Amino acid sequence: MRKKIIAGNWKMNKTAAEAAAFAKEMADKVSGNNDVVFCVPFTSLAAVLDAVSGTNVAVGAQNMHFEESGAYTGEISAAMLTGLGVKYVIIGHSERRAYFGETDCIVNKKTKAALAAGLIPIVCVGETLVQRELGVTIEHVRMQVKGAFDGISADAAKGIVIAYEPIWAIGTGVTATAAQAEEACKAVRGVIAELYGNNIADTIRIQYGGSVTADNAAELFEQPNIDGGLVGGASLKSDFDKITNY
């Protein structure tokens, strides 16, 4: 059995003080049944790490650079994250791809850098509404997965979490049906099986993300190939614990 993993992606929200207070409030409500991660802004990492210390909650970053150091103004390296005690990092979120031009090649470099530093990457894949309407969802997601895992060994691949997020469902209030989400996550697992074999595919955890709420989490997470969620707006609400403890 794969243990469910629910990660809250706070995006660009909350000051350090606000984040610490909210993280502590939420951490006190989280059970140990599932892995729970708060992915917070860089400015809040230290405060949130302190706030959740000794609880069942881990902390993740929302992005990182693939280089170890250098003249990359405004960027954060993997070593900077691990030096704080960060455990997870989101890689290739659709907003990073759309607004900052991140390609499959960049996602691959970041994934390798995260693994080398001992971080657990949450690698995001997903299609646009146009791609879904054209009927190329599976082909597109398969290509993204192959690009992200290029050159990564089977042993290293086991340490990666994949998040399937249909872009048309992120922040829109529109959620993929459980059947749609399961179909895509099953296809993702199929690609991993082709690359590394069934044993590795059965080990890797695949999340669903896209307007996950306390009302629909249970139906989504109970699908055989969905191992939790990458939750956006709902992770900032006071009932987020209902999702983590679904």
Dump the DSSP string for 188-244: HHHHHHHHH-HHHHHHSEEEE-SS--TTTHHHHHTSTT--EEEESGGGGSTTHHHHH
pLDDT of residue 224: 98
Q: How many CB atoms sit inside 10 A of residue 159's CB?
A: 15
pLDDT of residue 160: 98
Is 93 a residue of the active site?
Answer: yes
Catalytic choice (95, 102, 127, 165):
165
Domains of the chain: 5-244 (3.20.20.70)
pLDDT of residue 32: 87
Ramachandran angles phi, psi of 205, nearest 5°: -90, 135
Q: How far apart are CA 210 and CA 41, in angstroms?
A: 19
Q: How far apart are CA 135 and CA 131, in angstroms?
A: 6
Q: How far apart are CA 109 and CA 104, in angstroms?
A: 9
Dihedral angle sign, alpha carbons of residues 140, 166, 37, 101:
positive
Q: What is the pTM of this model?
A: 0.97
Asked if 90 contacts 114 with a C-beta cutoff of 8 angstroms, the reply is no
Q: How far apart are CA 207 and CA 217, in angstroms?
A: 11
Asked if 116 contacts 73 with a C-beta cutoff of 8 angstroms, the reply is no
Q: How many CB atoms sit inside 10 A of residue 26's CB?
A: 24
Site of tokens 């890797």: 204
Q: How far apart are CA 11 and CA 61, in angstroms?
A: 10
Is 222 a residue of the active site?
Answer: no
Catalytic choice (93, 95, 102, 182):
93
pLDDT of residue 147: 98
| 165 token code pair | 């997020």
Long-range Cβ contacts of 134-139 (<8 Å, 24+ apart):
137/166, 137/184, 138/183, 138/184, 138/187
| 210 token code pair | 């896209």
pLDDT (tens, 9 = 90+) of the chain, 246 residues, equals: 899 999 999 999 999 999 999 999 999 999 889 999 999 999 999 999 999 999 999 999 999 999 999 999 999 999 999 999 999 999 999 999 999 999 999 999 999 999 999 999 999 999 999 999 999 999 999 999 999 999 999 999 999 999 999 998 888 888 889 999 999 999 999 999 999 999 999 999 999 998 899 999 999 999 999 999 999 999 999 999 999 998
pLDDT of residue 181: 95
pLDDT of residue 101: 96
